Structure 1
Amino acid sequence: MMPRKDMFVNLIIMVFVYVSAILDCGESSYSGEGGYRDEMRRLALVKATHIIRNGVSPSPSHSTPQVSQRSRVHHVTEYGADPTGRLDSTEALQQALSDAFGSHVDAHLMEGVADLGGAELHLDGGTYKISHSLRLPNISGGNFMIHGGSLRASDDFPTNRHLIELWSSSTSLLYEDITLKDLMINSNFRGGGISVINSLRTTIDNCYVTRFTTNGILIEGGHETYIRNSFIGQHINVGGDRREKDFSGIGINIKGNDNAVTDVVIFSASIGIMISGQANMLTGVHCYNKATQWGGSGVYIRAPGLTQTRIANCYFDFTGVVAEDPVQLHITGSFFLGNAFVMIKSLAGVVCGVNIVDNMFSGDYTGVKIVQLDQSNGPFKTIEEVIVDRNTVRGMVRKSTVARGSVWRNGTRWTVDFSKVLLFPNLIKNVQYTLHAGDAFPSHTLRNVSGNRVTVESEKPISATLHVSVDQSMVGYI
């Protein structure tokens, strides 16, 4: 690489050659015009000084001009948006959005979805008042981000809309790889926060969504929306809110498949997360929205017959989980505080492939069961592969599908009662037992299994201990 000193010397030489060329041109054409020559000399020296100061070499007059690439970062303040939030900025923001979608690189994501080349709508750290939804243009686009500021609904914002909407006029997938990041979304108690409809691979990261009346975040259709590192609450509080019984709305409403919610706090809403799609994943979620005693739910799974939902390492704080006719539901590694519990609700009487294992339950010793059955719409008729086991329980009533017990007595009949532990009533289908009578070996038989009680009877009186293991998980249609 050339030393800086040599580069500077060469630059000076180029400047003087450039000045001489201009002067020679002037002298050969207008040798008799002394005034013109002096003016040309003055202009040449001014330009030479600019070249030396800015390090720009003169371009030959015959070279092709270099057209600068237009930036794909659209700063909303340059469009006239008011970062103080006093004036309505809807039109300015919408124009910036239109411009961001107006140019794209010669590439595509999914077929028909144009690559916007990492375009950004930059909110410049301001707070912007909007009077109608900030809606992505009705043209395909992806690889795009909105970030870095706050949006607040005006007092006349429509109550049935969301502040940011990824919502095309058709059912086709127009948007892919859209990121909403570092945003404060204030719905001003007029509608919802963010809606993602028929979009593919959307990321909502480090967002704070509050003062909504419908949904903090709505996901409908589409595929693989990921919500992470975000805070969602209708009313801003840290618990113990005197208005808690009046909380309404849904923090996150998922009406689609294959979405994920990770490291998210939902601190006020009637329902923390509503799920009515399949194969969704919740991890590291903390729900302390409306408590169960006020009719709230941390997670409500409304996907009967084909649930395929996984809940792992979550924290349910005085509000629990409700699942309607769950088929393939996994709840593990989670903490249920303040009598929070899991409710399995019967609609068509189906519960299959449910694992509630390795969780912690903590209550106030008032007799609340850790897992409960709601059979008000009819009893469960199809029960298969339901495992409730290995949960640690303090201050609540343990319920399980696997249990072990023992009883000692002197006589001919021994009964172990599991009715207080087993989840399903009168549903023991697998029994293992041992009658331990010291050196004696009396004849005995399993006499009765009903009402979740196991009875063994011997042919003659003897002093013995009956050890029994039962399992409700390995059952078929009943």
Structure 2
Amino acid sequence: MSPHHRPDPVWKLREFKASLPLRHSGQSRQLVYELTSYGADPSGIRDSTDAILSAMSDALKGPSHGSLMAGITNLGGAQISLQGGIYKVSRPLRFPTTGVGNLVIHGGTLLASDDFPMDGYLIDLSSSNGTSSSSSYNYEFITLRDLLLDANYRGGCISVPNSVRTGIDNCFITHFMSNGILVKGGHETYIRNSYLGQHITAGGDPGERNFTGIAINLQGNDNAVTDVIIFSAEVGIMATGQANVFSGVHCYNKATGFGGTGIYLKLPGNAQTRIVNCYLDYTGIVAEDPVQVDITNSFFLGDAHVLLKSINGVANGLNIVSNMFSGSGGGVDTVQLDEMEGPFRDVSQVVVDRNNAVGMNTRSTIGRGSTQGNGRSWTVDFGSVLLFPDRMGQVQYSLSTSRGGSFPRHILRSASKNRVTVESDVDVAATVYVTVEQ
């Protein structure tokens, strides 16, 4: 071998050092914590709960890099690596303390054991000993990514109570009985590029009528669900917090005809939520007393529709515009009212318009119609178009006739119960055009 091609022992030493676990200067604790190093079984046969909890405990004791929010220790991007293994878990995985941030759990599968508690969550971002940090939040910037979480029909998969800037990315969450993901309090939890389903199916499941559980339960504010598929659960997303945004979500969980809901906004009178570019597939949207709700550029398939539910009779600042609806031809309304608990009385700034439908009846807050005839009275009925039963606010009309001589006098005689009547002082052949807004 030529001397010029001999291995450089110094270079080899550098290569060896680069392959070692990353360590913090001046400390002996590593920043990557591999579960097999703690005795966890990557085959999923033996219980690995204690080993995983040991790795989590060491990660929280690792080198500190200052702080994030006041009271939140910055762990510098410490990683708990599942190394592509499957690990059986018999108890919820909780950190031993709160008040830390900048940590990642990634790269493998967690499987609940047959005796996992029914009220537990595989990953629970709360302290195992009940301690609280000096911060107003439990954790900050915790990232869960590239994980398959299987609750084995024993409980839930992820619980995020009172944390800030939590990321759940590229996860497959299944076999939950309560919630796939539960967010309580805190804010800015981002759920991205993930798949959630109580049962693993690709639609048309013979047991769909029996689907239960909630895939994503948001009981907090300022969260985002982006590019997520929800393929089985009774409710796809339940939102009881404010200022959440859902974009690129495809719900084909339990169909509306079987009692399911794709997205349920259950915060009467204060939702402030945006639903944009979503796909509601045989399962629709329910909004209780919607206030500042935007539903735009979404696609509703299989008679899926928007249901506005009156709790206190309030609907303010609601936009349902530029959506597409495709149905079975049975005359199902694209937007419907549920006024079982009383009618909508406080209605303002509600715009339902510019939606298109095939095989469904388009409902709107803006009606445009015309009628023609020979006589003194013309009536245009908007009963099959307007959303609210008797709430016409603005009416504009024009009367067109080819009659020679003097133009007839005419007047708007009545505008109520979604019917508009125009009258003239003499018989005339005319066409009347009417536009109304609610």
Q: TM-score range by the shorter chain?
A: over 0.9
Change (3 A) 1:55 1:240: closer
> SS of 1:167's equivalent?
strand
Bigger mean CA deviation after superposition, 393-402 or 130-139: 130-139
Question: Match for residue 122 of structure 2?
Answer: 163
Q: What's the counterpart of residue 387 of structure 2? A: 423
2-structure distance, mates of 1:312, 1:394:
20
Does residue 138 (structure 1) correspond to residue 104 (structure 2)? The answer is no
Residue 270 of structure 1, aligned match among 226, 231, 234 = 234
Match of 2:19 in 1: none
Q: Secondary structure at the match of 1:86?
A: strand
Residue 345 (structure 2) aligns with: 381
**Which residue of 1 is the match for residue 175 of structure 2?**
211
SS, match of residue 37 in structure 2: helix
Q: Confirm or deny that 1:84 pairs with 2:40.
A: no
Name the counterpart of 1:40.
none
Aligned pairs for 1:433-472 (under 5 A) are: 433-438=397-402, 439=404, 440-472=406-438
2:410 maps to a residue whose letter is H
Secondary structure of 2:195 counterpart:
strand
Change (3 A) 1:96 1:464: same
Q: Distance in 2 between matches of 1:85 and 1:70?
A: 27
Structure 2 residue aligned with 1:111: 70
For 1:428 and 1:362, the matched residues in 2 are separated by 28
- The 1:452–1:76 alpha-carbon spacing in structure 2 relative to 1, beyond 3 Å, is same
Q: Which has the greater radius of gyration?
A: 1
The size of the alignment, in residue pairs, is: 418
Letter in 2 for 1:110: M
> How has the CA–CA distance of structure 1 residues 55 and 243 changed in structure 2, closer, same or farther, with 3 Å as cutoff?
closer
TM, length-normalised to structure 2? 0.92
Larger displacement relative to structure 2 (322-331 or 99-108): 99-108
Supply the distance in 1 between the matched residues of 2:387 and 2:205 (Cα, whole angstroms): 34
Match of 1:41 in 2: none
Which of 185, 188, 197 is the matching residue for 2:152?
188
The letter of the residue matching 1:118 is G
Amino acid at match of 2:348: E
Cα separation, partners in 2 of 1:257 and 1:54, compared to 1, 3 Å: closer
SS at match of 1:87: strand
Q: How many Å apart are 1:109 and its aligned residue? A: 0.3
Aligned to 1:15: none
Post-superposition CA distance 1:227-267 (Å, at most 9, x none): 00000000000000011000000000000000000000000
Match of 1:46 in 2: none
Separation of aligned partners in 2, 1:384 and 1:208? 41
Deviation at 1:104, TM superposition (A): 3.0
Identify if the C-alpha distance between structure 1 residues 282 and 52 changes in structure 2 by more than 3 Å, giving closer, same or farther.
Answer: closer
Which of 317, 322, 325 is equivalent to 1:361?
325
Question: Counterparts of 2:55 and 2:11 in 1: how far apart (Å)?
Answer: 38
Whole-Å Cα distance in 1 between the matches of residues 83 and 235 of structure 2?
A: 33
How far does the alpha carbon of each residue in 1:266-307 deviate from its partner, in whole angstroms, 9 at most, with x for none? 000000000000000000000000000110000011010101
Alpha carbons 2:230, 2:251 under 8 Å: kept? yes
TM-superposed deviation, 1:427: 1.1
* CA RMSD, Structure 1 to Structure 2 (Å): 1.9
Specify the SS of the correspondent of 1:336. Answer: strand
The reply on whether 1:339 has 2:303 as its aligned counterpart is: yes
- Residue in 2 that maps onto 1:202: 166
Name the structure 1 match of 2:268. 304
Q: Give the corresponding residue for 1:45.
A: none
Secondary structure at the residue paired with 1:199?
A: coil
Runs of 4+ in 1 over 4 A off after TM superposition: 50-56, 66-69
Deviations 1:138-182 (CA, angstroms, capped at 9, x unpaired): 231111000000000000000001000112434931210000000
Distance 1:54 1:155, change over 3 A: closer
> What percent identity do the matched residue pairs reach?
56
Tell me the equivalent position of 2:222: 258
Deviation at 1:55, TM superposition (A): 8.7
Taking structure 1 as reference, are residues 210 and 55 closer, same or farther at Cα in structure 2, changes over 3 Å only? closer
TM-score of the two chains, using structure 1 as the length reference = 0.85
The structure richer in strand per residue is: 2
| Contact 1:437-1:465 at 8 Å conserved across structures | yes
Say if 1:104 and 1:114, in contact at 8 Å, map to a contact too: no
Tell whether the 8 Å contact from 1:292 to 1:319 is kept in structure 2 after alignment: yes
Tell me the residue number matched to 1:24: none
Using a 3 Å threshold, how does the CA distance of structure 1 residues 410 and 161 change in structure 2: closer, same or farther? same
2:356 aligned partner: 392
Where structure 1 has 5 or more consecutive residues not aligned to the other structure, the ranges are 12-49, 57-65, 473-478
Distance 1:53 1:435, change over 3 A: closer
- Which range moved further: 133-142 or 371-380? 133-142
3-state DSSP class of the match of 1:339? coil
Report how far residue 54 of structure 1 moved.
5.5
Say if 2:63 is the partner of 1:97: no
Which of residues 167, 172, 176 in structure 1 aligns to 2:140?
Answer: 176
Provide the C-alpha distance between the structure 2 equivalents of 1:321 and 1:413, rounded to a whole number of angstroms.
41
Q: Please state whether the residue corresponding to 2:102 is helix, strand or coil.
A: strand
- Letter aligned with residue 79 of structure 1: Y
* Counterpart residue identity of residue 255, structure 1: Q
Go from structure 1 to structure 2 and tell me whether the alpha carbon gap of 1:381 and 1:187 turns closer, same or farther (over 3 Å shift). Answer: same
- For 1:227 and 1:372, locate their aligned partners in 2 and report how far apart those are by CA, in whole Å: 29
Which amino acid counterpart does residue 175 of structure 2 have in structure 1?
Answer: R
